[in-house]
Amino acid sequence: MIKKTKVKIKQMKVSSFFFATLREVPSDATLPSHIFLMRGGYIKPLSTGIYSFLPLGLRVIRKIEKIIREEMNALGGQEVDLPVVQTAELWSEAGRYSAIGDELLRFKDRNAHNMVLAMTHEEAITDMARYVLSSYKQLPFMLYQFKTKYRDEARARGGLIRVREFEMKDAYSFHACTEDLDKHYELEYKAYQKIFHRVGIEPVIVQSDTGIMGGKIAHEFMLDTPNGEDYLIICRTCGYQANREIAEFTRQPAGVAVNGEFPSDSPCRELEKVATPSKKTIEEVTGFLNANTESAGKCVFFEAEGHLVVAFVQGNLEISETKLRNYLKTKDLIPASDELIKASGMIPGYASPIGAKNCRVIVDIGAAESAGLIVGANEEGFHYLHCVPKRDFGDGAGAGFEVVDIAEAANGCVCSKCGKSLTETRGIELGNIFKLGTKFSENMGCTYSDEKGEVKPAVMGCYGIGVGRLMASVAENSHDDFGPIWPPEIAPFQVLIVQISNDKEVVETAEKLLKELEEAGFEVLLDDRDERPGVKFKDGDLWGIPVRIAIGKKALAQGAVEWKLRKGKEVELVKVEEVIEKVRKEY
């Protein structure tokens, strides 16, 4: 029989706690979460987009991990651990070694083998699954891990919101068919809602682009905040929600060119060339001609794999590079040079697809249905009126160009589900879920034998949460002017005892409450420093601990202590003997 040894944990006092709080706002910090995590002594920058976690910050991280782990285990998930350093050959098997750009850090080991620092772990988990999987009887299963990733971000920003090195919970499910994946996907969806609810966030859930992950369906769980880095499109009437990159919306084709002189019911007037000296932008041209921006056509030029692509939308809309890139099935989409544009017979600033050659013309569905548009005349200082894309582009019979949804939705666009106006807002991505399908299993030979003995690729799903980003998002979502207000489940400590003076009775009462609260099972931090009360209270606000108990001579003279909740403003006196029970009620 193994004898259990109970290890006594040293009481946590600020005088011996490893931390550093800052009085001033760090010069590079603009987001509240970045400011407070730095000022409160949770994190320390080591390099651009790379942070060290101090004990205070790591306590929050570990509690978030605990919540996520509980919800993943409740789904039957099994925890694994995969290497962050991986071979290039593994990534080549999946087809992503050359498909991903500079954000994937590549290097050679001492034996000159090509290696990568993993930014995600689809390759490694598929390799692990194929090592074990052979029969349909083993399916389904879900594996998950908490692992450091490295993404060589060009624009790290916002503290933990966008970093280069980060910890992520990534889970991967394996199934015999898409129907089974669909069932598990719904369970993950609900588990994510529980996770974010437990940390105090009610997320906005949007359809999203699958990006480098592949697959057909993906959802992002977003924090709706004005400081967000992503743009979301929401219908507050029917509830439609999507990332702006892929949001669907109903177009409003133009039918009037200038001053109402071109009736929408007779859209076939001939092209008319008009002088627009030094007017190049949509705003300049429509202003000069006294027209609305939606009655103009906008050309945006890209080079994709060495070829010129002309994207054409109505002047009031913007190109969604994500939609265009997905349609073209290319990762390389860069602005085209003036030389390449001119070689196709178009003049930058006065360009349109009319008469263009040696290029691929992609017309948005709204622009394709429009008539009487103002477009460039491919001549310096001139534009055309009355352009009908289906008549004037390509061969004049509606061929020679492609009609595709390539426009970004914006505030005020029409919801394609209910016909009401869409709202644009900003958000921070908290987590995402993907239906990967068989993209990785087919490429990497992760197969099983079904009931008939036929060999089939496993159907996969992927589910990720950035742990540090979630911590920062909670602080972004729940703070006041003085610091974060942590939800009880993830606060670094549950109770903060502030010792107002070094008076004997004050010290003895603080020590007594510390011991009793710890014996009752609470995590307690005692601020026993020889500092002014104002300094201690300011640090306490930065630490965001839910319950603060201040002990001073004045209150003790009445047999009481000062009780304050971090989320509130009121201070009340509580009898010393009633403190333990009041803490219990709070939790």
Q: How many residues does the chain have?
A: 587
Give the largest Cα separation in the chain, rounded. 96
* Euclidean distance between CA atoms 442 and 167, whole angstroms: 28
To the question of domain 30-83+118-227+425-476 being in CATH 3.30.930.10, the answer is yes
The residues pairing with 147 across neighbouring beta strands, listed in sequence order, are 168
* Euclidean distance between CA atoms 42 and 56, whole angstroms: 5
For 353, residues 6+ apart whose C-beta sits below 8 A from its C-beta are 299, 310, 312, 346, 359, 361, 363, 389, 393, 394, 401
Strands (E) across 388-506 are located at 402-404, 407-408, 423-437, 447-449, 455-457, 459-466, 479-480, 483-484, 495-499
What stretches of 357-488 show up as alpha helix (H) in DSSP? 365-368, 389-392, 439-444, 467-477
* Mean pLDDT of the residues in the chain: 92
Q: Is the pLDDT of residue 17 over 80?
A: yes
Q: What pLDDT is stored for residue 259 in this prediction? A: 43
pLDDT tier, 419 (very low <50, low <70, confident <90, very high otherwise) = very high
* Euclidean distance between CA atoms 320 and 405, whole angstroms: 9
User: pLDDT tens for residues 52-81?
Assistant: 999 999 999 999 999 999 999 999 999 999
Cβ atoms within 10 Å of 429's Cβ, excluding its own:
25
pTM score: 0.87
Pair 393, 363: CB distance under 8 Å? yes
**Mean pLDDT calculated for residue range 44-48:** 95
pLDDT tier, 395 (very low <50, low <70, confident <90, very high otherwise) = low
For 377, residues 6+ apart whose C-beta sits below 8 A from its C-beta are 273, 350, 352, 354, 383, 384
The residues pairing with 362 across neighbouring beta strands, listed in sequence order, are 311, 402
Rounded to 5 degrees, φ, ψ at 372 are 75, 35
Q: What pLDDT is stored for residue 264 in this prediction? A: 46
Three-class SS of 56-103: HHHHHHHHHHHHHHHHHHHCCCEECCCCCEEEHHHHHHHCCCCCCCCC
Q: What pLDDT is stored for residue 38 in this prediction? A: 97
Q: Is the pLDDT of residue 474 over 70?
A: yes
Q: What pLDDT is stored for residue 317 in this prediction? A: 95
Domain limits, CATH 3.40.50.800, in the chain: 495-586
Q: Is 311 exposed, middle or buried (0-12, 13-18, 19+ CB in 10 A)?
A: buried
Q: What pLDDT is stored for residue 246 in this prediction? A: 87
Q: Is the pLDDT of residue 257 over 50?
A: no
3-state helix, strand, coil in the chain (%, to 5): 30, 30, 40
Between residues 332 and 362, the one the model is more confident about = 362
Q: What pLDDT is stored for residue 396 in this prediction? A: 52
Task: For domain 272-408, give the CATH superfamily.
Answer: YbaK/aminoacyl-tRNA synthetase-associated domain (3.90.960.10)
Q: Is the pLDDT of residue 261 over 50?
A: no
Pairing status of strand 373-379 against strand 318-319:
unpaired
Q: What pLDDT is stored for residue 552 in this prediction? A: 95
User: pLDDT tens for residues 263-278?
Assistant: 444 456 889 999 999 9
**Mean pLDDT calculated for residue range 344-368:** 94
- CATH number for the region 495-586 comes to 3.40.50.800
Structure tokens at 248: 């669907």
Structure tokens at 266: 């007779």
Domain limits, CATH 3.30.930.10, in the chain: 30-83+118-227+425-476
Domain limits, CATH 3.90.960.10, in the chain: 272-408
**Mean pLDDT calculated for residue range 451-461:** 97
The residues pairing with 432 across neighbouring beta strands, listed in sequence order, are 220, 464
